């Protein structure tokens, strides 16, 4: 079978996976719902920037809510051109997914047909690409650009021309703009160029250029009263939590990222086999430029970044590890290869990763979309009917801001910088933060907020709020909590909110339970 025919089959498989998973969601929701509320955070910020010129989760104030500034900016440009449509991320990701497959198609042409089939299929099924497309998040774009960065690095090593350096630098800037984790890998590219290739000026220049998105965005954020880094990195990053907390989170990352660790094992076997005749560490690294960068970048990601949440944080790692081990796979699957243990061992490890990532997500992705539909979309619909332009306290903020024009107090801190400043020492946990409770009390009272839709376990609401009811979903996998509580901030409006909840309960899906508090 020719490689072009295989490529068409791969596209067909990807299309069928997207169609099937989309239809599963449409069957219960009547439309496609993203499996993460974060997708609606990107959309909300992009909408506000495109339509109102405000970089924020609402149109009323700046907020450094996005962890992928370039992706949010890209969506804003697309909304400006084509209008505000909630499926723009889905279409954009599909185009990026096609581009990712074509990049691998071109790269894999130099290898055997067996390698072509194994690696290209693995990119689609182990990422898994259809799921990353359907999240509506930045991960497909980030993965695509990271692969191009490694290709650019490879080309620069083969031919150190100014053009190849400028390509590498530009791609590095774009990759960091999509996700800051890209800096882990660019850093080790710089290390390799500095210590192995002795390209001192080039190494430093590349590092400075790659930092530009961080520096520019950081300056803009500080100028608007926010942190240098996006709020999500401050609130969720694995830093400043003490040695025990740090090690606990690393262990959690290792557990959640077991599918990547399996592939990294193949990478380490490749390095051992390829450099077993090299005597010095420098020679071993010199013979394994791409594996060195990928492995070291993976380790830093393991230490300081996140894994999990619909297996999305590590999706790009799967693909770039596959890119790094492709030459090894080609040797293992060569007809003349005699080491059957390596061949069957590689197949086994790939199948383990397939089961962990693809098999489990066939069920989890629709469940996640169901959770978002039953909770975040219902909350957004409730606000749209009764409080579409009101002052609202919330702590899961994507859909409720995208589908409405509310003023927001975000008790988690992603959309409210003063809250983020109060929570930055909580290290992603929900503590009995008295300062935060006082801030919510004062802000709600002084600014006449109307209603609160919150997870009670995230932060205690002031005593003068009147709890009116709850909304509870079933089989929670993705939402921050199964139950959201409704509070009337103004006591005189308590009965009105109660009547609204009673009426709204008649319109929600049958497995969404709304209870009224006496």
Q: Phi and psi (nearest 5°) for 73?
A: -65, -40
Closest CA to 154 of 267, 323, 275: 323
Q: Are strands 407-410 and 391-394 parallel, antiparallel or unpaired?
A: parallel
> What is the percentage of the chain residues whose pLDDT exceeds 70?
98
Dump pLDDT digits (tens) for 206-221: 999 999 999 999 999 9
Residues of the chain with pLDDT below 50 are none
Taking residue 214's Cβ as centre, other Cβ atoms within 10 Å add up to: 17
- Which has the closest alpha carbon to 12: 87, 112, 110, 124? 124
Note the pLDDT of residue 238.
60
pLDDT tens figures, 103-148: 999 999 999 999 999 999 999 999 999 999 999 999 999 999 999 9
- Give dist(CA 87, CA 267) in Å, integer: 37
* pLDDT of amino acid 249: 87
Task: State residue 337's pLDDT score.
Answer: 59
Condensed to tens digits (0 to 9), the pLDDT of residues 411-460 reads 999 999 999 999 988 767 788 899 999 999 999 999 999 999 999 999 99
* pLDDT attached to residue 273: 87
Summarised one tens digit per residue, pLDDT across range 146-183 is: 999 999 999 999 999 999 999 999 999 999 999 999 99
Q: What is the pLDDT of residue 490?
A: 94
- Residue 234: both structure tokens together: 């401050």
* Structure tokens that stand for 437 in this block: 């409770």
Annotated domain spans of the chain: 3-366, 367-516
pLDDT of residue 430: 83
* Predicted pLDDT at 338: 59
Global pTM reads 0.96
Q: What tokens does 489 get?
A: 């901030």
**How much is the pLDDT for 342?**
85
Neighbouring C-alpha atoms within 13 Å toward the C-beta of 305 = 24
The 3-class SS string of 363-375 reads HHHHHHHHHHHHH
pLDDT reported for residue 240: 57
Tokens 């996006």 belong to which residue? 230
């Amino acid at each position: 079978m020719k490689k072009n025919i295989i490529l068409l089959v791969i596209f067909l498989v990807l299309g069928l996976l997207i169609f099937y998973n989309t239809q599963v969601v449409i069957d219960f929701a009547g439309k496609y719902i993203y499996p993460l509320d974060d997708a609606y955070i990107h959309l909300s910020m992009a909408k506000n920037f495109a339509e109102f010129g405000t970089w924020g989760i609402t149109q009323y104030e700046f907020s450094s809510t996005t962890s992928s500034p370039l992706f949010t900016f890209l969506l804003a440009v697309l909304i400006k051109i084509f209008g505000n449509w909630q499926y723009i991320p889905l279409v954009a990701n599909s185009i990026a997914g096609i581009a990712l497959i074509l990049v691998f198609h071109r790269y894999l042409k130099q290898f055997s047909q067996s390698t072509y089939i194994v690696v290209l299929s693995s990119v689609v099924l182990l990422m898994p690409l259809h799921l990353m497309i359907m999240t509506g998040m930045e991960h497909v774009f980030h993965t695509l650009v990271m692969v191009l960065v490694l290709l650019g690095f490879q080309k620069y090593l083969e031919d150190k021309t100014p053009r190849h350096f400028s390509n590498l630098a530009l791609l590095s800037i774009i990759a960091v703009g999509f996700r800051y984790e890209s800096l882990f890998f660019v850093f080790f590219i710089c290390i390799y160029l500095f210590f192995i290739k002795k390209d001192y000026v080039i190494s430093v220049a590349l590092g400075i250029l790659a930092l530009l998105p961080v520096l520019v965005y950081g300056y803009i954020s500080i100028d608007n009263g926010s942190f240098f880094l996006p709020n999500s990195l401050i609130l969720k990053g694995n830093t400043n939590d003490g040695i025990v907390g740090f090690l606990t989170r690393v262990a959690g990352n290792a557990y959640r990222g077991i599918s990547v660790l399996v592939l990294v094992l193949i990478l380490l076997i490749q390095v051992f086999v390829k450099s077993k005749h090299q005597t010095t560490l420098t020679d071993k690294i010199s013979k394994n430029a791409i594996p060195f960068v990928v492995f070291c970048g993976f380790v830093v990601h393991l230490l300081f970044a996140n894994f999990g949440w619909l297996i999305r944080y590590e999706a790009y790692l799967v693909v770039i590890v596959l890119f790094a081990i492709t030459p090894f796979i080609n040797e293992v699957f060569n007809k003349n290869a005699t080491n059957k243990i390596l061949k069957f061992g590689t197949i086994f490890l790939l199948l383990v990763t397939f089961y962990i990532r693809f098999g489990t997500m066939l069920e989890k992705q629709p469940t996640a979309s169901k959770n978002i539909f039953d909770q975040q979309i219902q909350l957004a619909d409730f606000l749209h009917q009764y409080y579409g332009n009101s002052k609202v306290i919330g702590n899961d903020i994507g859909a409720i801001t995208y589908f409405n024009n509310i003023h927001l107090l975000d008790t988690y801190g992603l959309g409210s910088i003063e809250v983020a400043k109060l929570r930055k020492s909580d290290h992603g946990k929900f503590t009995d933060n008295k300062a935060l409770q006082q801030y919510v009390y004062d802000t709600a009272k002084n600014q006449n907020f109307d209603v609160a839709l919150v997870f009670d376990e995230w932060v205690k609401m002031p005593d003068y709020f009147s709890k009116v009811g709850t909304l509870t979903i079933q089989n929670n996998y993705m939402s921050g909590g199964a139950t959201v509580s409704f509070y009337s901030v103004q006591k005189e409006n308590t009965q009105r909110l109660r009547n609204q909840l009673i009426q709204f309960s008649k319109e929600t899906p049958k497995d969404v339970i709304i209870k009224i508090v006496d």
